Chain A
């Protein structure tokens, strides 16, 4: 299968990743657009022995991060310290399932380093090895970030009374 066709079949997943990474549909689509452009121009840099999806995610994430730096929007990238507990608080949802919007809001409260790792592992189901390559960090860093990300997300969801733990009893 040629590169363009392979690339095309990865687009739905790439769009999902961009949406979850940024939490902004318009920004996500711009990123995917730039990513496809760059992937087509730089396809010689892709190692076919590695999953195409992981390569595309790495390309997209790099564009996202360098865009934030360039436009001086680095403040958008939250660090753990900057997040106070009250930030982004919304009234607890009443329904059994969290709405897509409130999951997005919960994700928004994570530090960007935590957000990207949990999106890659728990939503995109990438292997730790692929995640380490995408983020350009050692495996141990992936695991410690993942552990903190899950713990933080648990606390955020718990604040809203949406824990499995409570319901199980």
Chain B
């Protein structure tokens, strides 16, 4: 069976989520009635999956040093006006969020790098059905000892049951040239959050930063020798509440 150009375009638009509502339902009906078209649509979807399978790994790679340096200091425009603007904006956003002080962050790229890595790690590993973690929660003591040793600072895997999350386990990752730990938790609806932590670049504390990518939100902070990020698919406000609980759990 051959289809004319308009039909062909409609099928592409359907696969690429460019049509909705009634038109979508019509196309779905057409596909049910026509297995050949349905197979063509499946084939296009499969192409997308193959491409993602081949290239999504790039998302988890650490940024090349030169790139991180360009991001930090590249461009002839001074970063200062941006910093002032960011600080003002952050004050607005953090209003009413007690316990955090707002430090003037001079190295924005560190924040962006770290939060970006946490978001990428979350996007890649939280979607894993069969192998979300390397070491499961039933070996929690081993997990804690192993990851503390690799990260270089002893830490306690936080208990987030009060927040509705149970530990699934964790894995070792890279944060640039440093080892990083990824801890994964799941709630009753099987929604997952991850905690990403590694040795901090400098031994200083910072305020909480929020970074969003698509549906994902990450909250980042530095506390002494460690840098932390909590990531999950939720809006800014609940994520900041959760980050505060995680912060308390690490402190406690």
Interfacial residues, chain A to chain B (CB-CB below 8 A)? 1-5, 7-9, 11-13, 15-16, 19-20, 29, 32-33, 36-37, 39-41, 43, 97-98, 100, 103-104, 107, 118-119, 121-123, 125, 127-128, 143-144, 146-147, 150, 153-154, 157, 163-165, 168
CA distance A168 to B35 in the complex (A): 11
A37 touches B61 (CB 8 A): no
A1, A143, A163, A168 pick with most chain B CB within 10 angstroms: A1
Binding site for A on B (CB under 8 A): 5, 8-9, 12-13, 16, 18, 39, 42-44, 46-48, 50-61, 63-64, 66-67, 70-71, 74-77, 79, 82-83, 85-86, 89, 108-109, 111-113, 115-116, 119-120, 211-213
A139 to chain B, nearest CB (A): 10
Residue of B64, B75, B113, B115 touching A29 (CB-CB under 8 A) = B64
Contact B44 A150 (CB under 8 A): yes
A4-B112, A165-B39 known; 11 other A-B pairs, CB under 8 Å? A5-B108, A9-B213, A12-B60, A12-B116, A16-B56, A121-B16, A150-B12, A154-B43, A154-B47, A163-B43, A168-B39
Query: Which residues does chain B contribute within 8 Å of A29, judged by CB atoms?
Result: 64, 67
30 contacts between A and B (CB under 8 A): A4-B108, A7-B112, A8-B113, A9-B212, A9-B213, A11-B63, A12-B58, A12-B60, A12-B63, A15-B61, A16-B56, A19-B55, A19-B58, A36-B67, A36-B70, A37-B75, A39-B75, A40-B70, A40-B76, A41-B75, A41-B76, A100-B54, A103-B51, A107-B51, A119-B51, A122-B47, A122-B48, A128-B18, A154-B44, A165-B43
- Flag if A150 contacts B47 (CB, 8 Å): yes
Give the secondary structure class of B's interface: helix
- Asked if A9 meets B51 with Cβ closer than 8 Å, knowing A2-B82, A15-B61, the reply is no
Pair B47/A157 contact, Cβ less than 8 Å: yes
B58 adjacent to A16 (CB under 8 Å): yes
Residues of A within 8 Å of B77, CB to CB, are 40-41, 43
Task: List chain A residues, Cβ under 8 A from B43.
Answer: 150, 154, 163-165
B66 surroundings in chain A (CB, below 8 A): 33
